[in-house]
Amino acid sequence: MAGKIKVPRCTSCGKESEFGYCYECLCRCEIITRDKQQVSGDFTIVDWFTSRASAGLIVEDTQSGVRYQLYMSDVFAYLDGLKLADLTLEETKKGSAYGWKVITEEAVISQ
Binding site for Zn ion (CB under 5 A): 10, 12-13, 22, 24-25
Q: Which is nearer to Zn ion, 30 or 74 (CB)?
A: 30
Contact 29/20 with Cβ under 8 angstroms? yes
Taking the complex as a whole, how short is the minimal distance between the CB of residue 28 and Zn ion, in angstroms? 10
Taking the complex as a whole, how short is the minimal distance between the CB of residue 10 and Zn ion, in angstroms? 3
Residue 8 buriedness (CB in 10 A; 0-12 / 13-18 / 19+) = middle
Residue 98 three-state SS = strand
Residue 58 to residue 22: CA distance in whole angstroms: 23
Q: Which is nearer to Zn ion, 14 or 41 (CB)?
A: 14
- Minimal CA–CA distance to 29: which of 20, 19, 37? 20
Q: Which is nearer to Zn ion, 16 or 74 (CB)?
A: 16
Taking the complex as a whole, how short is the minimal distance between the CB of residue 18 and Zn ion, in angstroms? 13
